[in-house]
Structure 1
Amino acid sequence: MSLWSDFKSSPIATISRWQDQRFLWALMAVAMAGMVLLAHSFFQNYLYMKPCEQCVYIRYSMLVMALGGIIACINPKNVILKIIAYVLAIYGAIIGIGYSVKLHGIHKAVHSDDPFAMMGMQGCSTDPSYPFGLPLHKWAPDWFLPTGDCGYDSPVVPSGVELDAIQTFFTNLYADGWYLIPSIKFADMAVCTLLAYVVALVLLLIMLISWIITTIKRKRA
């Protein structure tokens, strides 16, 4: 039977069976780690977009999810490893949603015409405080030390730097900030990361519930 036929006939058992393989976990790990690499290597180092406090927190949460995927890939059928993977992945997604929501709120306030929009707004410091007291900004400052202002995600090209043709194209494209569709300022970076976290969390919960249901049925049989 095909995968689609299996899914239609028994969706819960099929999803539970899928997560006993490495593909889904590896996909999550590669996707989350890939977004961090893209943010650091391309946007930060190549296009000179300085990361803000919430931005580096988002990097942290994505790497936590990636770590969960890597742990599951060791042996996705091992119950202990799978539980650790779920804890890390769901934790990373939940805190990532919080960071994205806060960053989006700051972004809206910064670009608002209301002069009082930023009143009481917090969450943009150059002295980060990571969960569990992790000094990530000291261990890897180029990755985890915020150097930019929240809500301002335009390229800041250092004086005297000569851009190549690709850099020029993208720095002009994102001159008014990073958007999924810059020409109409559609979906800022916080909205895009929020969507990624929500999709990942929903899929993780579906996988987890399917696994629990299947395990209970197997024990009762």
Structure 2
Amino acid sequence: MIVKSLGRVEYLPTLEAMRAFTAARHADTPDELWLCEHPPTFTQGIAGKPEHLLLPGDIPVVPTERGGQVTYHGPGQVTAYPLIDLRRQGIFVKEYVFRLETALIQVLDSYGVTGLRVASAPGIYVRPADPGGHAALTGPTDPNRLFDGLAKIAALGIKVSRHCTYHGLALNVAMDLEPFQRINPCGYQGLETTSLDKIGVFTDWPTAAGRLAERLSAQFEVSTP
């Protein structure tokens, strides 16, 4: 996998570049991983409901073809776009999402933080009151209490075209979280969001991006005969 660090780039031109790369690639095109940081931007998934966009204010809203509802990108967040041929990997979308989440959990673990999956709610969550704790989720039966004691630290939103992926994932490292209050993050009213610095982990963007690139590359390494 070819890893490219794009720095801070506008969202829409990056989206257009992903679309162009995916449309032009062929069976022998190497997979790529783009790492970047965006200026403040809300992005809406293809089935996104307008009621989840509460008060966007001066932050632009960009409609996209990815899955999921509305989310926020901004400075202090590592956004990663894996451009991967799933057919060459020999996997389907469910396995792809599982591997993305696994990479995020491994990165968090490297910082002493326990990342958690929540059934039917893609992304990775932490316990702000006990970031390093290892207690299993109890799985509340009340859907209105699904996120009790949890905060979302990483979001996923993907698109697959001709077995090839684009869009990706975002890990909150050291962010102003206020814009998340202007939306129902990922379509969940009242869902708390957090970032590494808010739970006592202080790192810089290049370090976090490097760890994420390493773990994603390992998840999608293709062995050759």
**Normalising by structure 2, what TM-score?**
0.30
TM normalised by structure 1 equals: 0.30
Higher strand proportion, which one? Answer: 2
- Greater radius of gyration (CA): 1
